[in-house]
Structures are given as C-alpha cells and as structure tokens.
A and B are shown apart, each in its own frame.
Chain A
C-alpha cells in the first residue's frame, strides 16, 4: 500500500536551534516527494520537492529536506528555527491510488518554535 507517515504529531524546538520534521513513505516506483506548510487559517504553501538528483533539496524560507532512499525518508530540516516557522507541516508523495496518480498526504506535524 502506498502511504506517507509523519510519526510526530507535534515537534517543539527552541528558537535558534535546528529543527527536523520527519517523514517516511511507501510507494512503488520512483518517489516524487513534497513538503507543504500551513499557517493558521491559511491555505497550504509549497515548500520544496524531490524529483531526482541531489538528495539534499533546498526550498523556501531556509528549509531543506534530505531524501534517503534506503530509509524511505524525506525529513524536513532547518539549521536555525524562527518563531515564525511555527505552523503545520505536511509531507506528501505522488502515488497511484485507484488507478490515478495523486498526492498521498501525511497527517501533518505541528511545529512549535518557542522564543
């Protein structure tokens, strides 16, 4: 079965510390992986994606993600967290569901950055 798992409902980080939001996936074929962020009462915003090439992908707002094929993971990272990074983060993978390719979404991880 094709799926995405975000094992942490919530991640708490002190401002200025590095942050990691975890994502693992299960999909047949080459994975196309995405991270989105949702600020309160807003729509989702695209952060970054992995299609092919370098395993370290850089995206918006200083975020990056590391693709690890052997561990089937695509963890989101940032070297130094800001209070304004507090939001809900979604990992997604393009997979085949019911004969259609569509994004398969994780349940989301709430990131809280404390001053």
Chain B
C-alpha cells in the first residue's frame, strides 16, 4: 500500500491553463504539506494543513490554491499556469505538529509548462 500518493505523476500543459494535483495519505496523519522542488533540487514549502486547517501559507502566487476536503487529502489547484511553475511538486504528511515528527513524501508530480 502506498502511504502518500499523488496523481498525476507527470503533467504537461500549456501556459494559461488551469490544472490540479491530487494527494492522498493512508497513514492516518493529521498534517499535510505541499512542496515545490525546482530544477536545482531546492525544496520550498508552499502550504501546510493540520486537520483540514491551513497553518502555513508561504509566499506563493495566489494562482496556487490548496484544498483539503478531509485530513487524508490535500489537493493543489493552479490557475493560469506560467513557465516558471515548471517544477516537481511533492505532497507530504506527518503525524502532527510535534517538532520531532518526520514527514513522509509522495512520489512527486513533475509539472512541465510549455
């Protein structure tokens, strides 16, 4: 059983389109995250939800909107895609907000905007 899954794995789309990435975790965790990994492999936190409540909302364009229908799911919707949005997007989860909680990552979604 996959602990943290993301769909799709690859996403190729044109500038200006709107797309969504879905994430599900079956670990029973309370906290979920979205990260962006750029071409230099640098990781940047985008959002974090705890029990469906937004707790981290880093400085990302408001074209990015996360949605958490329940604590097992955290989806990412992106409007008006731009070339600079091309990256790998990772979903992750952790048991909670305890400082020592490790995060479990999904396999990533490689987004290519042409």
Contact = CB atoms under 8 A, between A and B. Distances in A.
Chain B at the A interface: SS class: loop
A88 B45 contact: no
A32 B105 contact: no
Nearest to A41: B108
A68 B112 CA distance: 41
A34 B56 contact: no
B27 interface: no
B102 A102 contact: no
Interface in B43-99: 43, 45, 48, 55-56, 58, 90, 92, 97, 99
A41 to B, nearest CB: 8
A46 B95 CA distance: 13
Contact of A43 (B55, B56, B90): B90
Given A42-B108, A98-B58, A32 B100 contact: yes
Interface of A: 32, 34, 36, 38, 41-46, 49, 51, 88, 90, 94, 98, 100-103, 105, 107-108
